[in-house]
């Protein structure tokens, strides 16, 4: 089917929402046992427009032994094929992360914070972040307009409460959401982390009640522990709650079923995202996404 002129214009506008940015490491700061904040700068960030909340972007991390990211193309029509066609040993690793914060300093420097979960050298992103030093440069695809589809937290105007679940991979997004919520809105949140000292201080003007779930070291009972915390919770009634869930895909599925089936939340008011899946490598998940096999995030999905 040939696209009409309005369809073509809409597609062009959507493409223009995102572009490549060069990010330079300015500094790093350890937040807890599992979290490291990397603060990036760079002249191109003057055009970066984070929509806040759980705004995501894609980072291109250089292979081991390389200081900076190099791509054969950053053209919107050719970059993906050129990146995929690179030799394995030269291809930068692409990973999605949350924009934890964006600001302009009094000196006029544009900065972006991204919080990484550290788990040794088990993943390329953890390995890179643990070795990040001032001056290293990477490329990213990020928002050039604040109103973009990579902000998934979209409560309807009628929502009278926010209920949340996140594990450590989604905690930066959850923290960014909390910071931006309106004063006084009721929030009930369950945050799962691997260690006691990963219970980070969180700032919010909302009326937030947060339960921290510290996972057992082997993680085998993670879903049962989360569901147990939900079932034992005393949650004030809400006529139109909005539910945001993110983290390990299996646990996210189980918590979504709990909210819909046990708490009778309208499934259209549940936004859920599997950031990773137990037993699957990041490269396997990327391959599934390329093949169109990733599970839907839409509220009508049967996940």
Claim to verify: residue 227 and residue 193 sit in the same structural domain? yes
| Two tokens, residue 197 | 């000292």
Query: What's the whole-number mean pLDDT along residues 218-235?
Result: 88
Same domain, 183 and 277: yes
220 in any annotated domain: yes
Per-residue pLDDT, 218: 63
Would the pLDDT of 152 be above 90? yes
Does 302 reside within a domain?
no
Is the same domain home to 100 and 30?
A: yes
Predicted TM-score (pTM) of this structure: 0.88
Separation of alpha carbons 98 and 9, rounded Å: 28
Provide the pLDDT confidence category of residue 291 given band limits of 50, 70 and 90: low
Query: Does residue 226 lie within any of the structural domains?
Result: yes
Does residue 183 carry a pLDDT above 80? Answer: yes
pLDDT for res 122: 82
Same domain, 177 and 214: yes
Range of the domain at 259: 161-290
Q: How many percent of the chain have pLDDT more than 90?
A: 78
Domain end point (choices 95, 115, 143): 143
Interatomic CA distance for residues 59 and 253, integer angstroms:
26
What average pLDDT score do residues 272-297 get? 66
Per-residue model confidence (pLDDT) at position 6: 39
Helix (H, G, I), strand (E, B) or coil at 3: coil
Q: Name the phi and psi angles at 200, rounded to 5.
A: -75, 150
Residue 50: per-residue pLDDT = 96
Question: In the chain, how many domains are there?
Answer: 2
Domain CATH for 106:
2.40.30.10
* CB distance 140 to 23 below 8 Å: yes
Residue by residue, DSSP assigns 115-176 as: EEEPBTBSSHHHHHHHT--TT-EEEEEEESSSS-TT------TT--EEEEEE-TTTHHHHHH
Domain contains 282: yes
How much is the pLDDT for 301?
31
* Residue 149 domain-assigned (yes or no): no
Statement: residue 125 has pLDDT above 80: yes
- Residue-wise pLDDT for 90-120, tens only, equals 999 999 999 999 999 999 999 999 999 998 8
* Average pLDDT score, the chain: 88
Domain-located, residue 179: yes
**Percent helix, strand and coil across the chain, each rounded to 5?**
25, 30, 45
Q: Are residues 107 and 165 in the same domain?
A: no
- Would you say residue 302 has pLDDT above 90? no
So what's the pLDDT on residue 110? Answer: 96
Tell me the per-residue pLDDT of 34-76, one tens digit each, with 9 for 90 and over: 999 999 999 999 999 999 999 999 999 999 989 999 999 999 8
The answer to whether the beta carbons of residues 103 and 40 sit under 8 Å apart is: no
Quick one: pLDDT band at residue 14, thresholds 50, 70, 90? low
Q: Which among 116, 143, 170 is the end of a domain?
A: 143
Q: What is the pLDDT of residue 9?
A: 41
């Amino acid at each position: 089917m040939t696209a009409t002129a309005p369809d073509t214009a809409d597609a062009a506008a959507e493409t223009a929402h995102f572009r490549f940015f060069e990010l330079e490491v300015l500094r790093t700061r350890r937040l807890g046992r599992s979290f490291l904040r990397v603060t990036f700068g760079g002249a191109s960030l003057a055009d970066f427009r984070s929509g806040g909340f759980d705004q995501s972007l894609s980072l291109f991390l250089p292979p081991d032994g390389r200081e900076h990211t190099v791509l054969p193309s950053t053209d919107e029509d050719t970059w993906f094929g050129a990146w995929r066609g690179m030799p394995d040993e030269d291809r930068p690793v692409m990973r999605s992360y949350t924009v934890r914060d964006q600001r302009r300093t009094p000196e006029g420097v544009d900065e972006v914070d991204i919080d990484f979960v550290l788990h040794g050298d088990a993943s390329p992103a953890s390995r890179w972040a643990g070795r990040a030093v001032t001056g290293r440069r990477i490329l990213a695809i990020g928002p050039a307009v604040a109103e973009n589809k990579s902000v998934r937290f979209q409560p309807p105007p009628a929502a009278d409460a926010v209920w949340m679940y996140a594990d450590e991979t989604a905690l930066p997004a959850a923290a960014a959401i909390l910071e931006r919520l309106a004063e006084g809105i009721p929030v009930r949140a369950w945050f799962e982390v691997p260690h006691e000292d990963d219970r980070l201080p969180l700032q919010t003007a909302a009326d937030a009640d947060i339960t921290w779930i510290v996972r057992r070291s082997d993680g085998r009972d993670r879903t049962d522990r989360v569901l147990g915390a939900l079932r034992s919770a005393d949650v004030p009634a809400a006529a139109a709650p909005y539910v945001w869930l993110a983290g390990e895909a299996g646990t996210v599925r189980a918590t979504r079923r709990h909210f819909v089936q046990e708490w009778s939340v309208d499934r259209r008011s549940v936004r859920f995202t599997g950031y990773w899946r137990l037993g699957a490598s990041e490269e396997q998940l990327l391959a599934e996404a390329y093949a169109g096999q990733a599970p839907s995030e839409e509220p009508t999905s049967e996940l």
